[in-house]
Structure 1
Amino acid sequence: MSRWRGNPWVVLLTLSLGFFMTLLDITVVNVAIPSMIDKLHASLDEMLWVINVYVLVLAALLITSGRLGDVRGPRTMFVGGVALFTVASVLCGLSQDPAQLIIARVVQGLGAAALVPQTMTIIIGTFPAERRGAALGVWGAVAGVATIAGPTLGGFLVSTIDWRWIFFVNVPIGAVVLAMAVMLVPDIRHDVRRKLDMPGVVLATATLFCLTFALTEGERYDWSAGIWALLGGAALLLVVFLIYQRSRQGDEPLLPFVLFRDRGYAVMSFVSATVQVGMIGLFLPVMIYLQSVLNFSAFKAGLVMAPAMVVSALLSPVAGRMSDRIGGTYILMAGLTLFAVGMAWLTWVTDVGRAWWEFQPALIVAGLGIGCVFGPMVTVALRNVEPRLAGAASGVLNTIRQIGTICGSAAVGAVLQNRLAASLHTEAAKQAADLPASVRDQFLAGFTNAAKGGLEVGAGQTGAAPKPPPGTPTSLIQHIHQTAESVFEHGFVHAMRPTLALPIAVIAVGAVSCVLVRRRRPADHQPSVPGAVDIGTSA
């Protein structure tokens, strides 16, 4: 084992497996919701907390854990995070009620927050600048694979074994990563003793928690006064945090402002948020469309997306390597443009009654774009970051990505619900003309009022629940339900098209913003780890 210790590609494999676990658990739970509701006798609201509390904890603590990696050592934080995440996965799988599962998910979020920022920090400290783009390309490929593996693997496990195995599957992966991290990953630290800004930790955590809670739960609570109060509190806490951080810029701040003096890092932070909005905009409405309009199973819907993600995973390391040779800005711009074009093509193709293969050209173009995004984006962001600030830089960048995910989910979800309510009313009014006058008004009212009671968009649903009056002939009941299904299918397609326009526009803005980055030749890169020492030569 000693001859493999510190090998950059072995280290990258270890980091990627750990990173894969945390991303997998963001998406894998979604497909198991119906089964968990049945087996745990849970409400939908409780299941939404199972999903959201993981993201809340992860987003709120990324900056803090990134800085902790600078203080305690990135390998120490990575190992601790993997161990905590693995134990929490066992607790999730053993949960007997919703409360136990929610608490276990909080612990999972703590473990994920501890390990995620360390992956980029250790990559920066392990790979020389001229090979860092290829390494970060692999890191980006992991993000694409995990995104599609979540619903695909989750659908397979739920269908063939039990929902608990979406968590138990993490245990062998976590055990392998833990052993590899202890034996093979060097403990890269710097020769300067560092301290943690505790007031900054409290302010940052409170700010991010208020913001992420409000954005995640706003739609469910109908954007009530309490939600707006949380957003106002987040804004106030952010101002206090920034003022406090400014006063500490010469004394180990949690957020070093010097990071944003580099235009590449500042622009890429914004671009990373736009990419996440695009990913949510692609997967959220499209996965609902595949299952609810085309009646694909969760497993089949995941497989529809698989070719695009395979293309992305194969291309991402190549794009990263090209970033090392010619610079990442233009590769990133091309990738974002292809991503937007692929989504626009998908919008044009989407309709009722489509076959799975009809989406593949558009999705593969989008996959080509995604493959050219993650590696170059992180390479450009981190190319001028001093190694002593790597943890802070990684924590901030990952936090902004998670906030982009939450903002994208809230915005895309709100647009989809708004457009769906309107399109269902319009489509119901058009198709109700074929129904007898005795049931027409009630049919229209069912779709008109659907949004007030919560739109039903699950597989086999119609967006409303039309209830024919007692004594209605069976043939007419069947006709009403067929008409309702048709209203929902066409209404969802009409709502999906303007919904996809939002992430397409955001991605386009991200592509254009790349022109603000100063072009740097690979030869201009600084040495990868000046002043760093390896104090982890023994396991």
Structure 2
Amino acid sequence: MEIVAKPWPALWALVLGFFMILVDSTIVSVANPKIMEGLHTDINSVIWVTSAYLLAYAVPLLVAGRLGDKYGPKNLYLIGLSVFTLASLWCGFSGDIGTLIIARVVQGLGAALMTPQTMAVITRIFAPDKRGPAMGLWGATAGVAMLVGPILGGVLVDGLGWEWIFFVNVPVGIVAFVMAWRLVPTLKTHDHKFDLLGVLLSSAGLFMLVFGIQEGGTYNWGTIAGPLSVWSLIIAGIVFLMAFVVWQALNKGEPLVPLHLFKVRNFSLANASITTMGFTVTAMSLPLFFYYQLVRGMSPTQSALMMVPMALFAGVLAPFVGKLIDVVNPRYVACLGFVLMSASLLWASSLMNPDTPIWMFLLPSGLLGIASSGIWAPLSTTATRNLGPHEAGAGAGVYNTTRQIGSVLGSAAIAALITARLAAEMPAGASSGTGGVEGQLPEFLRAGFATAMGQSMILPAVVVLLGGFAAAFFAKPRSVDAIYAEFDQAKRQPETGKPASVNQQH
């Protein structure tokens, strides 16, 4: 552990870049209708703009955490920030949907290099008894960024065009680079081997699973080409991911995922919970903004302003939650947050018809912000509290990867569900006619489209409850003195050949 005298300036520098990359996870949702119109594409294709980013973001995270340990988190952060900023410029200049999707893949790779470094630096420069407020800020940044993204996107799309949701990253990226260069300390590095087979298995498995789920409706859940079918692709993806887990257990060198981390009860449960959170935040925004713009005829800015109560409550309450979880069991705060989030999504779903007074959607939006403030910081604190300094990079990589995998699956699942519900609720042939639509749908299509979007919102509402169920089993946090005592004891023990892990049973 490398405690520094003034860690907060470094944290603020990292938070700026972290905020930017998380904003890009959700900022596209409000711009989707305008991208469809400008690039003359359909709903499923435009959702790939989000899915491609999230997939490219998720797959390299485990390697990125190790690269940060080997070459220094500051160096990896600056490289990732440079890639992300340049790819943002490429996104803005894209003239067709294919080019935009490719540029988003590169942007996601840059984000993957950055993200694990932020959490690893917090773990290494803050003492365990000082991490609560630091993780509170980190959690608040994650929550607020993923909620503010659509608001910022709406203003930019209406004022300057959809391209500017990407161009805006360029000046922010330059400022973030200068701040990180000056304020983030250079930390000690640790030599690592890289599990290339693990990278190949996890990458192939995740891609096949996501592609199969998202494109299933396109191929009517049947044949893609020759003997290859949607279901064979999904099954193959699951088999590859299972083979990845088996290989991690058998690998006697340095596996990509140190499975011994999952012996720490709270680490395992926090990873399960954050996966559902990533799924939910990504999945809920797509049907909501399609409803606001295509059914209610709202502009991107108007629809984004419906998120203001959510962002305000999340931003104001998150710092208080960061302090609260140092004295209260995070389990209680997180469980309440998950239940309230599910309730807010079901509430919004019930309101989604063409005639609901639009102001009524502000109420579940506010409840969603309250719920979000009680989830991010408790989960991140619970995940990292009992990890040793040598596990910081790997633990941060695993935690961020599971969140991103949840986001990828959420994007793919909601795309498939939206396609299915549109086919069921819209007049025959009308569901395929929404591609390239300009402005509000014709009146005879609005009721069916609204019903389909409302039904789609039920999926994230159910999934987020699973996160609350996992959080309900968090073990009671242990004192910092007890954690230090175990670190000291582990250092005094003779070498066993196995990595030491603090509080494995807890």
TM tier, smaller: 0.7 to 0.9
CA positional deviation for 1:512: 2.3
Matching residue of 2:166: 167
Q: 8 Å contact 1:288–1:458 — kept in the other structure?
A: no
Give the SS at the match of 2:307: helix
Residue pair 1:311, 1:367 contacting (<8 A) in 2 also: yes
Measured in 2, the distance between the counterparts of 1:27 and 1:497 equals 19
Where does 1:400-415 land on structure 2 (aligned, <5 Å)?
Answer: 400-415=402-417
Structure-1 residue corresponding to 2:261: 259
Count of matched residue positions in the alignment of Structure 1 and Structure 2: 480
**What per-residue deviation string (whole Å, max 9, x for no partner) do you get for residues 40-77 of structure 1?**
67777765544332222112211111222222221111
Percentage identity across aligned positions?
38
Q: Which amino acid aligns with 1:330?
A: Y
Residue type at the aligned position of 2:239? L
SS, match of residue 458 in structure 2: helix
Partner amino acid for 1:510? G
Partner of 2:475: 518
Contact kept? 2:37, 2:437, Cα under 8 Å: no
Please report how far the alpha carbon of residue 115 of structure 1 lies from its aligned counterpart in structure 2 after TM superposition.
0.5
**Distance (Å, rounded) in 2 between the aligned partners of 1:350 and 1:45:** 21
* Cα deviation, residue 100, structure 1: 4.4
Cα offset for 1:9? 1.9
Query: Counterpart in 2 of 1:137?
Result: 136
Supply the distance in 2 between the matched residues of 1:201 and 1:15 (Cα, whole angstroms). 26
Q: Which structure 2 segments of 5+ residues have no match?
A: 224-228, 489-506
Corresponding residue for 2:209? 211
Q: Is the 8 A contact 1:288 1:457 kept in 2?
A: no
Cα displacement string for residues 427-447 of structure 1 (whole angstroms, at most 9, x for unaligned residues): xxxxxxxxxxxxxxxxxxxx1
| 2:456 corresponds to | 499
Shift of residue 161 of structure 1?
A: 2.2
Distance 1:161 1:7, change over 3 A: same
- 1:385 aligned residue (378, 384, 387): 387
- Given candidates 428, 442, 457, the residue that maps to 1:448 is 428
Asked if structure 1 preserves the Cα contact closer than 8 Å seen for 2:43 and 2:435, the reply is: no
CA distance in 2, matches of 1:324, 1:108: 36
Distance 1:183 1:529 in 2: 35
Give unmatched runs, 5+ long, in structure 1: 425-446, 463-480, 532-539
Q: Match for residue 328 of structure 1?
A: 330
Aligned-residue RMSD, C-alpha: 2.9
Q: In 1, are the aligned partners of 2:293 and 2:303 still within 8 Å (CA)?
A: yes
* Matching residue's letter, 2:243: V
Q: TM-score, normalised by structure 1?
A: 0.81
1:79 equivalent in structure 2: 78
d(CA) in 2 for partners of 1:167 and 1:178?
A: 17
Q: State the alpha-carbon separation in 1 of the partners of residues 198 and 283 from structure 2.
A: 33
Q: Is the 8 A contact 2:422 2:449 kept in 1?
A: yes
**Partner residue in 2 for 1:244:** 247
Would the aligned equivalents of 2:88 and 2:169 in 1 still touch at CA under 8 Å?
yes
Task: Summarize the Cα distance change of 1:254–1:21 in structure 2 as closer, same or farther, 3 Å threshold.
Answer: same
Say if 1:124 and 1:528, in contact at 8 Å, map to a contact too: no
Q: Distance in 2 between matches of 1:79 and 1:281?
A: 30
Aligned with residue 233 of structure 1, among 236, 240, 265? 236
Distance 1:307 1:69 in 2: 37
Partner of 2:355: 353
- Structure 1 residue 308, shift from structure 2 partner: 1.1
Could you say if the C-alpha distance between residues 60 and 324 of structure 1 is closer, same or farther in structure 2, counting changes exceeding 3 Å?
same
Residue 114 of structure 2 aligns with which residue? 115
The residue number in structure 1 matching 2:500 is none
2:136 and 2:319 in contact (8 A); partners too: yes
2:47–2:411: 8 Å Cα contact kept in structure 1?
A: no
1:297 aligned partner: 299
Q: Which moved more, 1:496-505 or 1:174-183?
A: 496-505
Q: How far apart are 1:312 and its partner, in Å?
A: 0.7
The AA in structure 1 aligned to 2:392 is A
Q: For residues 6-65 of structure 1, what are the alpha-carbon distances to aligned partners after superposition, in whole Å with 9 as ceiling and x for unaligned?
A: 732212211211111212222323444455566667777765544332222112211111
1:371 alignment counterpart: 373
For 2:96 and 2:450, the matched residues in 1 are separated by 37
Residue 178 of structure 1 corresponds to which residue in structure 2?
177
The SS at the match of 2:257 is coil
Contact kept? 1:135, 1:317, Cα under 8 Å: no
- Measured in 2, the distance between the counterparts of 1:395 and 1:147 equals 19
What one-letter code is carried by the residue in structure 1 that aligns with 2:215? E
* Superposed displacement of residue 349, structure 1: 4.0
